[in-house]
Structure formats: structure tokens, C-alpha cells
Structure 1
Amino acid sequence: MAHDYVDDIKGLLIEARSYYSCYLFTEELFPGPSKQREFVIRAWNATCAACETLPLYALSERMIRIIGARKSSVFDISMGRKEKYSEHALIGRSLEIALFPNTRTGLGFMHPEFFDPIPDQLLAFLHTVIHAHICEWSTGRHIREDFTATKNETFYIGFLADLRSYGSKNPSAWLNIRKRMYSRAFQASGGAKLQAQTTRISTAAIDAAQAELEGRTGLTDSEDEGEVGATVA
């Protein structure tokens, strides 16, 4: 597990896992072993490239297993009314849960470059998850099953083909719809209002910064001596 490592390596592993998740969501949900390894190595390289100083740690086989470990979440989503294809309230709420669970670690906050606009692959993933949950209740009783490639890959491929076919009828409109999906989920989850090509800062971070600013004059150097290592959400 990532917590078995010292803090600096643990931080790199956690960040690499976020990149790995982005690749699953936006490229291939059920990669084979070789593709999984490729995603992990790409995630590690992307993480290291984002560091101010290049890390001196080699990627071990154990670290590869940690980064590529899968985890799943159960979606607790209320139903809405029937909407245009892939714009049902279930999809919007699922995007909030998948990308914006909190303002500090949500993939949608950390890596908007992967999700604005929302990729067809991510929508296909959400359709597949929802389909899997429906199947768990198909007998009238809840029978929980593992979310595996064996049981769900065929549905994912089908949903992705349908989405791409649907979007091809009016690519510009579909692009705008998917950008609006990101914007709505971002704002519904605590993000500040989006502006084109601007840095995104969560509402929670803005509120905290404004509260801290009220007690400052900005006239002394001592006010700049904040907590070492503090980050902005």
C-alpha cells in the first residue's frame, strides 16, 4: 500500500494513481496486462515530470502494483426524469461522484485537462457502472457482484460505440454538451464559476483564503510566514 512508504514517495504514488485513473476514464477502462503496465509507467513519468525537482526513485514492481491497483465505489444516486441521451440526472450526479468527491483530491479538480470536455470513454464507463448496478437488482433482491472486465467489457464497448455514433451526428453540439457537463459537475461540487482558459479554484479554497485575508494588513513580512508545505485546493 502507498502508506507503507515514506511521505515523499507516498505522495508520488498517490499522484501517479490519479493519473492512472485518468487514463482508465479517458482512454481504456479495461486494459490488458501490457496496457495496464503502459498506463502505470506513463502515470509515474507524468508525476515525476510535474515535480520541480526530478525524483531520484526508481519505479519498482511493487510500486507498479500499487499504482495499478483497482478500487471501486458504490454510487448512491437519486433518480431524475428522462432526459436527452446521456444527459439524465443519473449521469450528472455520477460525474460529480466520480470526478469531484472533494475539492482536494477529486480528479476533476486536479486534472481538468483530461475531463473538460467530458470524454466519451468516461460517459461509457458511467453507463456501464449504472447498468451493472441495475443488474445487481434484476432478481428483486440486491446481489452484489464485483465490477470486472469479464462481466462488463462488452457493455462498455457497446455504450462507447453508441456515444460516438450519437455524437457524430452533430460534433460541435456534442462537444458543447460535454463541456457543459463538466462545468455543471464542477460547480455543483464546490468549484468556482468557470472562465475560459483560467485556473480553477474551489469555492472552499476561496472562502478559506478570504477568511484568512480579513485578519491581515499586507504590510509586514511576518504575514507571509504561513504553514510550510501548505497547498491551495
Structure 2
Amino acid sequence: MPDHDTERFERWSNAFALAAWMTAEERKERIEEFAGYIAELLATRRATPGNDLIDDLIAARDGEDRLSEPELAYLVMSIIVAGTHTTSNVLGRGVLTLLRDDRFLWRRLAAVPALVPAAVDEVLRVRSLGDLRLLRLATEDVELPSGTVEKGQAVVIAMGSALSDEAVYEAPDKVLLDRNSSVQLMFGGGPHFCLGAHLAKAELQVGLGLLAERLPGLRLAARLEELRFTEGAELSSLESLPVTW
């Protein structure tokens, strides 16, 4: 995607992630703007193809007929939204998590750069995207300790519960930089595994790693109770994170 369109992506992505914060008319206007942009983008890339993911998706539509035109447009739109809000959200909430409690975790991360990958896994695990709830439909009867989920029944899945399962994680409410948190469901699994998972983790490792290297004295410039989150949104993120160093 063109770098100069970043601010436009943010505006349009908010129509999905912060829908509760705007009127139906405003959300409709932003989505229509976004859809128009995607249509122009697809037309441009068809005329001057490259060698990117978007070109592979266009080929899956035009050459192999594996996608309909609306599916192609919605998939490109979804990838842009998923790649904008999620990573920036995790980075902000992750930095906040590491700066809390007298900056113990941040100071350790700055002193031991090798802990960056483990730190990323931990901030991903500890409700880094907010209390996401996924609506799913059972395709068959499923027996759970709490009872039977019957075929055709709608189920709301709280991801935070799985990521804090005491049967999997010792002291799940604590952030431990030497914990092996690689076994987690943040990116889904099986055929629904997030196609941007490796890129997202690489971005977060670069972001946290460079911040810790260049700003080891980073600290909060506001009290915790002063921080505000986009509550009620699909992805709960920090409105701002005042810091100093």
C-alpha cells in the first residue's frame, strides 16, 4: 500500500474497529470511501501489475476464478484494516504493560535485548487487543465441561479466557519475560491462522527492540488512572500514551 495513504487507512479502519464511536451515517460514509479507494487500487494494479500479495489476490480472481469481485475487494480491505489497528494497538498496550510497576520489565528488556521475542509473545498474550469476543456457529455437537454445545447453536468465545488458562500458563495474570508463550491462540489456528502473524510479530519485535535500545530510560508521563481506552470498540486501544525519558 502507498505510504502516503497511511492516514486515510487509519480513518477508514476506525469505521470497523471503532464503530460504536460514530454514527451509522458517518460509518457508512467512511466505508463507502474505503470501498471506492479499493476499487481504484484494484484497477490500477490490474493495469500495472507487480509482484505483491495484492497481485496474487487479483490473479486468484482473474486467472483462477477462485474469488468473486466482491470477495477480492473485501479481502484486500480486511487485510489493510487488520494490518493497521492490531499492530499499533499491541505496541501501545505492550509498552504500557512493560512500563508499569516501577519499570521493572522495561529495564530488564533494555538490559537483555535477547528477551524481545519473549516479551512480544507475552504482551500478545496478556489481553493486548482488549477483550475480544468472537461469534461462532457450532457445526456439530461439542461436549464441554460446562455442558453440551449443540449443532447450530451460536457461541460467543472470549479469547482472553483461553490466553489466561491456568491449565496452560502458570500465574497467567503475570507478565513473565522468560515464559514460553508461543503456544497461544492470539493468531487463531488451522486454516484460520492469521496470514499476517509472522509479519506482525516481526514488526512488534522491531518496534519494542528499537524503543528499548534507544530509550532505556523511557517512563510514563501520566498516572495510570489518567489513561483512556477506546472502550466499547471492537479493539480496545489507548487513545494516547504520554511518555518521557
TM-score by length of 2: 0.25
Structure that is richer in strand per residue: 2
TM-score by length of 1: 0.26
More RCO (CA 8 Å, sep 6+): 2
